[in-house]
Amino acid sequence: MGVIAEEFLVAAEDKAFDVDHRRIINYNIGKYDAAVTRGLSRMINLDNAKRKGHVIKWKVMENLDKFLPEFEANFQKRGGKVIWANDAEEANREILNILNRAGAKTVVKSKSMVTEEIHLNEFLEGNHIESLETDLGEYIVQLLGQKPYHIVTPAMHLSKEDIAKLFNERFGTPIDATPEQLTQKARELLRDKYVQADAGITGANFLIADTGSIAISENEGNARLSTSFPKIHITVVGIEKIIPSLTDLDLFWPMLATHGTGQNLTVYNTILSGPRQANETDGPEEMYVILLDNGRTNLLAQKEQRQGLYCIRCGACLNACPVYKNIGGHTYNTEYSGPIGSIITPHMRGMEDFKHLSYASSLCGKCTEVCPVKIDIHKMLLLNRRDAVKDELVAKKEQWGWAIWRKGMLNRKLMDYFSGKTKNFFLKTLFKRTWGHLREMPTVAEKSFAKQWQEKNQGEQ
């Protein structure tokens, strides 16, 4: 077992028995679940909308070589610049080049999972550039020196008392400050930063091929401020975020909002199509879009599993997953946690190091049921497990164990040969430490069902 897998097991057990963590996460996810249920009830034909979204994303993934150059050409027509980055290192280097050319020393950043993926904040700080998160949840976890806990809600693991305590220590606000007062304080602190920042960095929810635009959805308005005030706007976005047409937002915007937070539509939805034009009064003087691969083409090459790239990052599968609700987001040790993270991370960051995530599942299928683009998530988890075995990435002991189990299960005589006493001995000896240290081990009957049936019916021939 690898180091990352061992760390996962230790952290997962720790979190599973953290009663306070369970209380906070169940409360917060419970509120989301209630809002999402209300939101979905307003959709007339939800299954049809999901199917349509699935087909559009299928079309895109099968024709990425057509849609990405189309986006690039249309974006460049309006004065934008497109940079292709193979990996995190290349993306960070290109961002640093842009900032150094402009002499930029301060950056405001709106919420973006892809910049978390490339560890942009740490990279910029290492190069003496201040990078400030402006989404309230991201700002809170940045102050704490933590990573986002959830794809949509970065500070979901914290209670309002935790945040009030943090603001009291950092900014002297009252220890019993309300969420409204804390938000007001954050707004006060951040407002000047937008005006002073040399550059704004965002992600994008969608890349629109036919207009050469990016679409950003948010609930706080910080992305609009981050893209409007600074003279330079840099967008970092995964190549899988592309959709064919502006008209597709008619489907994807409501589906993203409803599955993510239960809203009909996210509060602020912005479409940006390049830097400020001659006839426009605001906007950046320069706009860059960095198209990031960083392992996505590895997943694209897997014909059976490439639908993992259909994900629109709504977070619905995280909120539905019984494993995520018990062990939390940080335990996964990857930017994309929960069921969707478990299927894409092994392909993006290496099957050997992250194959264990595909086993961190009850295979209940709830993730597949709630997905707005019908990704067959629990099937993908099984396919990842298959690939790990096929590529011989599992321990020899595990291979031998399953080989013996298979031989026994496929041979009735062999199963009947061993008594219940022998089977119970093997169960307690072999599985007590790995499987039984937190649960009562089952007791196998003294005689197998086949044996009992044979004895019962012997005289009735």
Cβ neighbours, 10 Å, residue 128: 7
DSSP string, 111-138: --HHHHHTTHHHHHHHTT-EEEE-SHHH
Helix (H, G, I), strand (E, B) or coil at 58: helix
What burial class does residue 44 get, using C-beta atoms within 10 Å of its C-beta: 0-12 exposed, 13-18 middle, 19+ buried? exposed
Note the pLDDT of residue 218: 96
Measured between alpha carbons, how far is 291 from 240 in angstroms, rounded to an integer? 9
- Two tokens, residue 396: 């020899």
Write the CATH number of the domain with boundaries 65-294.
Answer: 3.40.50.10420
Cβ neighbours, 10 Å, residue 308: 28
Q: What are phi and psi of 108, to 5 degrees?
A: -105, 140
> 262 and 37 in contact (C-beta within 8 Å)?
yes
Note the pLDDT of residue 459: 57
Q: What are phi and psi of 85, to 5 degrees?
A: -120, 125
Measured between alpha carbons, how far is 202 from 115 in angstroms, rounded to an integer? 8
Q: How far is CA 378 from CA 50, 344, 371, in A?
A: 17, 12, 11
Cβ neighbours, 10 Å, residue 301: 10
> How far is C-alpha 218 from the geometric centre of its chain's CA atoms?
17
Nearest alpha-carbon partner for 215 in 145, 266, 147, 160: 266
Q: Tell me the one-letter amino acid at 189.
A: L
Question: pTM for the complete prediction?
Answer: 0.92
Domain boundaries, the chain: 1-42+309-394, 65-294, 396-460
Listed in sequence order, the residues at least 6 apart from 337 whose beta carbon sits closer than 8 Å to its beta carbon are: 149, 150, 151, 318, 324, 329, 330, 331
- Strands (DSSP E) found in 48-167: 81-85, 106-109, 130-133
How many helices (H) and strands (E) in the chain?
23, 10
> 173 and 182 in contact (C-beta within 8 Å)?
yes
Note the pLDDT of residue 405: 82
Task: Profile the chain (461 residues) by mean pLDDT over runs of 10 residues.
Answer: 88 94 94 96 95 98 97 97 98 98 96 96 97 96 96 95 96 94 93 94 98 97 94 98 98 97 96 93 94 97 95 97 95 96 95 94 95 97 94 85 85 80 82 77 85 79 48
Measured between alpha carbons, how far is 209 from 461 in angstroms, rounded to an integer? 75
Listed in sequence order, the residues at least 6 apart from 269 whose beta carbon sits closer than 8 Å to its beta carbon are: 215, 216, 217, 249, 253
